[in-house]
Every structure is written in C-alpha cells, then in structure tokens.
Amino acid sequence: MKEKIQKLTEQFGEDLSKVTDLTALETLRLDYMGKKGQIAELMKELGKIPVEQKKEAGQMINTFKQDVTSRFESKKEELVRAEEERMINAAEAYDESLPTENPCGSYHPITLVQRELEDIFESMGFDVEDYNEIVDDYHCFEALNIPKFHPARDMQDTYYLSSKNQLLKSHTSAAQNAIMMKYGKALKEKDRPIRAVFPGRCFRNEAIDACHENTFFQMEGIMIDKNISISNLIYFMKTMLSEVFERDVTVRLRPGFFPFVEPGFELDIQCLICGGDGCPSCKNSGWLELCPCGMIHPNVLKYGGINTEEEPDKYTGFAFGLGLTRLAMMKYGVKDIRVFNEGDLNALSQFVSK
Ligand code: PHE
C-alpha cells in the first residue's frame, strides 16, 4: 500500500504539471477523487488488507487525499488567476476608439415607422400614449364589449399569467378604456376632444410563419367628440397614409366585425405597386388590407365613462388599429415577418430614418 501511494503521489505530481486549463484540471480531479477514481480504489483495497495494517494504511490514504486536494486547489487558483490576467490583457489590447463597420448603430424598422406615425399624428393634434404589456382580462376584453366566452376571443388567444387574471395584451385596443378614463374629464368639462394614439407590443398564441408572429406591434388611435362620424375616420386615415407612403393613396372601407366598434370596417388601400390593376403583391385584387377600424361601440363609450345612461349618444368616436409590423413590411418590402424579432443585424441595420 505504501509503495502504491508513493507511486500515485509521483504520478499525480507529473499529471498535475501537465495541466494547463481548468477543463483538464477537472478531468484530473475526477481521475483521482471521482467516484471511480484512484482514491476510491485505494479505499476498496483498504477493505481487503489485514486488520493490524489497516490503521496505518488508512492514515496514509488520508494524507494522500489531503495532499491531492490541497495541490489541486492551489493549481486551480493559479489557473483562474492566469485566466483573469489573460482577460485583462485582452481588454487592454481592445481599442474602443477604433472605427467599426457600423459605427452608429441603427433604429429598428418598427421604431422608425412608429416614430414617423407619432410625428404625423402629433401634427394633427393627437396625444401619444404609452401602455402596459401585461393587462387584465377586463381591459383587454370586457371593457371592449367582449364578454367572457364570446367567440371573438378565439381570434385573440394570448398568453395568460398564473396570477391575478393577467395576460399579455393581444391588441392595443386594451388601452382604450384607460385613455377614455384619462381624458374623459377634459372632454366633458372643457370640450377638449379626445385624440390619442397608443403604439405597443402585442402578443398572440400563433403558429409562427412568414406572415404570423407571436409578438408584433400595433398602433391604436381613437378620436372622441360630439358629432364624430365615419367621414372624420376616413379623412384621418387617408391623410396619415398619404404621409406615410409619401403619395396620395386611395382607400376603401369594407364591413368588418369587431365587438368594440359599430359599424366596423376593414380599411384597404389601393395597391401602391400596380396602382389597382392587380399584381402578385395584392394577390391580383388591386387592394391591400391595412387597418381595421370603426365607430366606437356605445357600450365601450359607456364603460369608459364617456356617455351616461341618460345621454347615451352625446359623444361619438372612431377607433383604428394599425398593424405597425404589417406597415413596416409594406413600407420596406420585408417579405418575412420573423426578420423583425430575430435580431439579425445584417437585416435590421439596413433601415435609416429620413
Ligand atoms: N384590436 C383589433 C385587432 O387587433 C383591431 C381594431 C382596432 C379594430 C380598432 C377596430 C378598431 O384585431
């Protein structure tokens, strides 16, 4: 046993001197101290030797074990220190004043479209509002005239959190109620129309492909005052879209169902590529579906504290939900929606603001 331990001690010294990194050190540790390592072997042998020699042999194994452990620890410290030094030297060698290929960074295409729209709406007197990504069932659905178990919820399956009835908002309409509460007083007391847009990230439980994402951006807009009608809606949408696409656009409304608007519409623009003659981009129809919208449902105005039971149609308003992601795809000719969330700089850094 004594001889064996002596040999192992020498062998360990030799093995240890060859170790140059932490991975190799760990392998060596397992060779000696692992479950099936050399020390475990020695302990097995200890069981077989005569009783009178056991005590001495046991002590020798223990000393060997302590020796291996302490040499192992100091080697580890040495290697960690060397690695730290190497990193410090590498950091010093890095010259951050050197120009890089893409020195300024760039804005995400959705940020660009969002800011452009915010500017346009601000110039038309709209307030730009921010809203939460986590909302409750009431704001996302019930305040929008979508009661529990309403089939319209199927189209907006989203991600539910385990606590307090919360979910990731499936559309920016979830902010409508809060905006009405915020600006309702000024509308009623000071005759200040409510004009607000609220961009935001939305989530839906979607199977992802080139046209569908589980995370996307919308920009909601509402305008509420006395005598607001569909012509106001058309005017604002047309003005905004002509600015975005930098040319006069032709729009049309088709009926569309959303429980929180009545009447509800799908707003299409005449295809900008073929001018309405029909081409692959518009699936030969001459029109592109761009933005659901409509006149705010009386229930939604009531839940938002705008109209009362006594005067249920004192104020009217329109709402629209512009797909920012969709708009960015059209504006920049991006064919695959996944590009926006993948974080690939080659794709994302091509876009510059005007
Ligand atoms: N929130 C709706 C959706 O995401 C869109 C919408 C907004 C429709 C406003 C009408 C009015 O599907």
pLDDT digits (tens, 9 = 90+) for 318-334: 999 999 998 888 888 88
Question: Who's near 191: CB < 8 A, 6+ residues apart?
Answer: none
> Ligand 1 pocket test: which of 135, 224, 237, 260 has the largest number of ligand atoms within 8 Å of its C-beta?
260
For residue 281, give the DSSP letter.
G
The region, left, alpha or beta by phi > 0 then psi within -120 to 50, assigned to residue 225 is beta
**Quick one: pLDDT band at residue 103, thresholds 50, 70, 90?**
low
Six token digits for residue 350: 């091509």
Residue 301 has pLDDT above 90, yes or no: yes
pLDDT per position as a tens digit, 265-274: 999 989 888 8
Q: Show the tokens assigned to 343.
A: 């974080």
CA dist 144 and 303 (Å) reads 8
| 192 pLDDT more than 60 | yes
Reported as a single tens digit per residue, the pLDDT across 112-146 is 999 999 999 999 999 999 999 999 999 999 999 99
Q: Give the model's pLDDT for residue 224.
A: 98
Helix segments in the chain, DSSP class H: 2-18, 22-33, 38-48, 51-93, 109-123, 137-140, 176-190, 230-244, 298-303, 324-332, 339-342, 345-348
How many Å lie between the centroid of ligand 1 and the Cα of residue 261? 9
What's the confidence (pLDDT) of residue 354? 56
Interacting residues of 23 by C-beta distance below 8 A, sequence separation 6+: none
pLDDT score for 333: 82
CB neighbour burial string for 252-277, b if at least 16 within 10 angstroms, e if fewer? ebeebebbbbeebbbbbbbbbeeeee
Residue that has been written with the tokens 């009178």 in this structure: 52
Please report the atom of ligand 1 found closest to the CA of residue 321: 7
Atom nearest to 172 CA in ligand 1: 1
Q: 155 C-alpha vs ligand 1 centroid, how far in Å? A: 11
CA of 320, closest atom in ligand 1: 9
First and final C-alpha spacing in the chain: 82
| Residue 42 structure tokens | 């020695």
Ramachandran sector of residue 286 (left: φ over 0; alpha: ψ -120 to 50; beta: rest): left
Nearest CA to 317 among 215, 225, 203, 235? 225
Give the closest residue (by CA) to ligand 1 atom 9. Answer: 320
> How many A from CA of 173 to the centre of ligand 1?
6
Ligand 1 pocket mutation pick from 156, 173, 295 by most atoms within 8 angstroms of CB: 173
Phi and psi at residue 344, in whole multiples of 5°? -85, 110
Ligand 1 centre and the CA of 352: distance in Å? 29
DSSP conformation letters of 55-99: HHHHHHHHHHHHHHHHHHHHHHHHHHHHHHHHHHHHHHH--TTS-
**Which residue is closest in CA terms to ligand 1's atom 4?**
171
pLDDT above 70 covers a percentage of the chain that reads 98
Confidence of residue 215 (pLDDT cuts 50, 70, 90): very high
**Collapsed DSSP state (helix, strand, coil) of residue 105:** coil
CB 291 within 8 A of CB 311: no
Question: Probe ligand 1: pick from 145, 216, 258, 265, max atoms within 8 Å of CB?
Answer: 258
pLDDT at 94 over 90: no
| DSSP code at position 285 | S
Q: How far apart are CA 257 and CA 266, in angstroms?
A: 9
Query: Measuring from each residue's beta carbon to the nearest atom of ligand 1, which residues come in under 6 Å?
Result: 171, 173, 258, 261, 264, 292-294, 319-321
Residue nearest to atom 5 of ligand 1 (CA): 321
